[in-house]
Amino acid sequence: MAEARKEIEIKEVLSDEIVKTVTFKIKKFDPEKDSKPHYTEYQVPVYRGMTVLDGLLYVKEDVDGTINFRYSCRMGICGSCGMFINGKPRMACMTQILELNSDVIEIAPLPNYDNIRDLVPDSTPLFEKHKKIKPYLIREDTKEQENPIGEYYQTPEEHEYYSQFSFCIKCGLCYAACPSVASDPEYLGPQALTQAYRYSVDTRDEGFLERVMVVDDPHGCWRCHYAGVCSEVCPKGVDPAKAIQLLKGLILKYRLGLKKKRRGAGVIPAHPRPNIKKAPKRTVPQES
C-alpha cells in the first residue's frame, strides 16, 4: 500500500502534465542595439518540478532564440545562473516556478553588477575582489607547497572552524543583495570577506597578516552594516553576515594583541593513513 502510494507521488512529481501557464517577463538588453533595457513577455507552460532555468531554456529553444543567460550545471553547483527573480537574487536552477506562487515571473540580471547582455551580469568585480583577499593557503615555508611530500595535518574539529564558509560557489547572489555594495562599489563585499575569514581560521594557513592588510580598510569588513540579506539569499547556507562579524572580532583581537600567534599545521606523510582501511579489490576488470 505504502509502496503504491509512493509510486503515485513520484509519478505526480515527475509528471510532464502542464499545470498552468505563467508569464515570463524578461529584461532584455543588447548593448549594440538598445539604448536602455526593456522587458519582453513570454508565455511558459509549467509542469511540476519545473525550475525558472527550465522555463528560460523553453523560451530559448522554442520561442525566442536571441535571449541570453548564463548557466552550466543545472543543479546548484556551478553558481552560474544567478538572476534577479521576482525581486530577489536567486539561482534560476534552484527556483521552482510553482513555489513562487505567481502568474507573472519577472526576471532581470543581478543588481550591483554591470549588465553585459540580457540576463548576463559582468561578474568581474566579484572575482577581482575575491582575488584580492588571497583565497588560498599561504605558508611561510613555500618549499612544501611547491614540492609536497605529504599532507597538512588537520583534525575534523579544526575543519569545523571554516567548513560552513567553504561551501561558497561564487554565485554572487550575496553581492547582488548587499546594500553596502550598492552604495559603495569599492566595498569588498560579503563573498570576498567570507573567504578572507574562511582562510584566516584554517589551521593550515599562515597568511592572516597579509589578509588583514586588505580587509582592515575603510572599504573592508568595517563597511558591513549587518543588514544580513547576504545570508538570506545565499543558496548554500554559507551565512556571510556571520563570517564578517567573526572576521571583525578576529581583527580586533589581533590589533589589541589578544590573538595568539599560531604556526601553520605540520606535514604528515600521505601514506599510510591511520584508521583508514585499504580500498577493496576491483569488482569490475580495468579497461586496458
Query: Which residues sit at the interface with other proteins, rule CB under 8 A?
Result: 180, 183-187, 216-220, 222-223, 248, 251-252, 255-256
Tell me the closest approach of the beta carbon of residue 211 to other proteins, in angstroms: 13
Cell of 20: 498552468
Tell me the closest approach of the beta carbon of residue 175 to other proteins, in angstroms: 16
Tell me the closest approach of the beta carbon of residue 243 to other proteins, in angstroms: 16
Q: Which is nearer to other proteins, 74 or 219 (CB)?
A: 219
Element (DSSP H or E) covering residue 153: none
Tell me the closest approach of the beta carbon of residue 187 to other proteins, in angstroms: 8
Q: Which is nearer to other proteins, 85 or 247 (CB)?
A: 247
User: How far is it, in rounded angstroms, from Cα 15 to Cα 197?
Assistant: 44
Tell me the closest approach of the beta carbon of residue 184 to other proteins, in angstroms: 4
Q: Which is nearer to other proteins, 91 or 251 (CB)?
A: 251
Tell me the closest approach of the beta carbon of residue 232 to other proteins, in angstroms: 21
Q: Which is nearer to other proteins, 258 or 284 (CB)?
A: 258
Q: Which is nearer to other proteins, 49 or 228 (CB)?
A: 228
The Cβ of residue 47 has, within 10 Å, a number of other Cβ atoms equal to 16
Q: What is the DSSP letter of 186?
A: T
Q: Taking a C-beta distance cutoff of 8 angstroms, is the pair 188, 133 a contact?
A: yes
Please give the full DSSP string across 98-135, using - where no structure is assigned. Answer: GGG--SEEEEEPPTTSEEEETTEEE-HHHHHHHHHT--
Cell of 27: 529584461
Name residue 116's amino acid.
I
Q: Which is nearer to other proteins, 141 or 186 (CB)?
A: 186
Q: Taking a C-beta distance cutoff of 8 angstroms, is the pair 31, 117 a contact?
A: yes
User: How far is it, in rounded angstroms, from Cα 99 to Cα 46?
Assistant: 12
Q: C-alpha 279: how far from its chain's center?
A: 33
Residue 61 CB partners (closer than 8 Å, separation 6+) = none
Tell me the closest approach of the beta carbon of residue 133 to other proteins, in angstroms: 15
SS3 287: coil
Q: Which is nearer to other proteins, 150 or 249 (CB)?
A: 249
